[in-house]
Structure 1
Amino acid sequence: MTKSDRITLYYSPQTRATGTRVLLEELGAPYDLHVLNMKAGEQRQPAYLAVNPLGKVPAIRHGEALVTEQVAIYIYLADLFPEAGLTPALDDARRGPYLRWIAYYGASFEPALIDKFMNHEPAPVTQSPYSDYESMLGALEAQLCRGPYLLGDHMTAADILWGIAFSWTMMFGLVPKKDVFARYAERITSRPAFQRINAADDEMAGRHAAAAGV
């Protein structure tokens, strides 16, 4: 496997895979889309379950490497293209905080978000993976107040992950539209890469809905 191998992104529009596609654009990475119509249930068919048994996107294939899980994909891709400047090097003092905030997304933010969305009673603080919703979000707010990005003045792949997540979750009322969150999301969603992919997603989602008879 070489860096020049094209990356295959298993993709469906207006899903968590959108952020991965934006990251690929920001990295200038060579990639191809393997598009799944999730409105037609293609992600639950045997062909894709052989790629990801959970039937979730994104997933990527790079040479012989198959990577699922959004957080792992971001780390893998940003490290694969260090010249893009979106990942701190292993000997950079920012590397630890960078990994912390990427892991925080999958380990704390998403579980808290799902509990809130489903109106689930959260686990006791001593057993919850995210303590409690307010504390989880408060830690993010405190970090972003140091801004303009998670690690200060320099944007990383973590900011693409979080900026797009904040944009979506504020849109659906899962995260309050505080100025610090709104300004942060705008820094990412106003970038040309996001604008291109967002427009392409709108068009693709319309085609998928029509094909699925939705």
Structure 2
Amino acid sequence: MLTLFHAPKSRSTRFLWLLEELGAPYEVRTVDIYRATTKSGARDPANPHPHGQVPALLDDGVLVTESAAIALYLTDKFPTNGLGPEVGDLLRGPYLSWLAYYAGVLEPAITTLWKQRQDEADQATYQALDDRLRTTLEASPWLLGDRFSAADMMFVSLLQFARQMLPPHAVYDDWLARANARPALARALAKDAA
């Protein structure tokens, strides 16, 4: 049985969404986390994440942490609905690239912007990120063309919390609207609010 260690209205919400999209059997264990923005909460001893953060996924005793790793783990474990291209699929490389790009480029750039510590190098990275993402979405509805994937979920989940962190292009708003219309997201948000 999969167990998602979850804190409401956090980065782990996207994994409620992914698990709902996958139709995977899972249970949720709600844990407390420290929230820097509100200076509230605390590390929960029931949370197995080594840093006391979420998400954390436990699968038959195997702990998986870090969002990109969890997305890849789950889409590989439940391949039938195509949310993560399998090895041998021509979209596998782009999928892995977008997951790594999220973790290695988008998160650090947005964190820097959020903290208002932009220098010239940071601005160049942010502009390159915007150019790559915008031109990809101008050419197709999803990061992998016509195919919705867990990579879209990773990026969109950030926009759901902080749309203002990317420039005001209609292509981002349209992408967010397409993703927000997915029935699995509605189910996940209902569980997040419970």
CA distance in 2: counterparts of 1:45 and 1:89, whole angstroms: 35
Partner of 1:7: 2
Aligned pair 1:114/2:111, yes or no?
yes
CA distance in 1: counterparts of 2:3 and 2:155, whole angstroms: 23
Q: Contact 1:163–1:186 (CA<8 Å) still a contact in 2?
A: no
Computing the radius of gyration from Cα coordinates, the structure with the larger value is 1
Cα offset, 1:85, TM superposition: 1.3
Aligned pair 1:67/2:60, yes or no?
no
Partner of 1:90: 87
| Runs of 5+ consecutive residues of structure 2 not aligned to the other structure | none
Q: Contact 1:164–1:188 (CA<8 Å) still a contact in 2?
A: no
Partner of 2:99: 102
Structure 1 segments of 4+ aligned residues over 6 angstroms from their partners: none
CA distance in 1: counterparts of 2:58 and 2:124, whole angstroms: 34
Partner of 1:150: 143
Q: Indicate how the Cα distance of structure 1 residues 17 and 166 shifts in structure 2: closer, same or farther if over 3 A, else same.
A: same
Instruction: Give the letter aligned to residue 198 of structure 1.
Output: L
Aligned to 1:33, the other structure's residue is in SS state strand
TM value normalised by structure 2: 0.90
CA distance in 1: counterparts of 2:41 and 2:116, whole angstroms: 26
| Runs of 5+ consecutive residues of structure 1 not aligned to the other structure | 1-5, 205-214
Aligned to 2:83, the other structure's residue is in SS state coil
Partner of 1:17: 12
Q: Give the alignment's Cα RMSD to 1 decimal.
A: 1.8
Please identify, of 64-73 and 153-162, the stretch whose mean Cα deviation from structure 2 is larger: 153-162
Aligned to 2:3, the other structure's residue is in SS state strand
CA distance in 1: counterparts of 2:118 and 2:21, whole angstroms: 38
Cα offset, 1:56, TM superposition: 1.1
Q: Contact 2:31–2:44 (CA<8 Å) still a contact in 1?
A: no
Cα offset, 1:131, TM superposition: 5.1
Partner of 2:158: 165
Aligned residues: 189
- Cα displacement string for residues 131-188 of structure 1 (whole angstroms, at most 9, x for unaligned residues): 5211112111111111111111111111122222222221xx2222311011111111
Aligned pair 1:133/2:126, yes or no?
yes
CA distance in 1: counterparts of 2:102 and 2:113, whole angstroms: 15
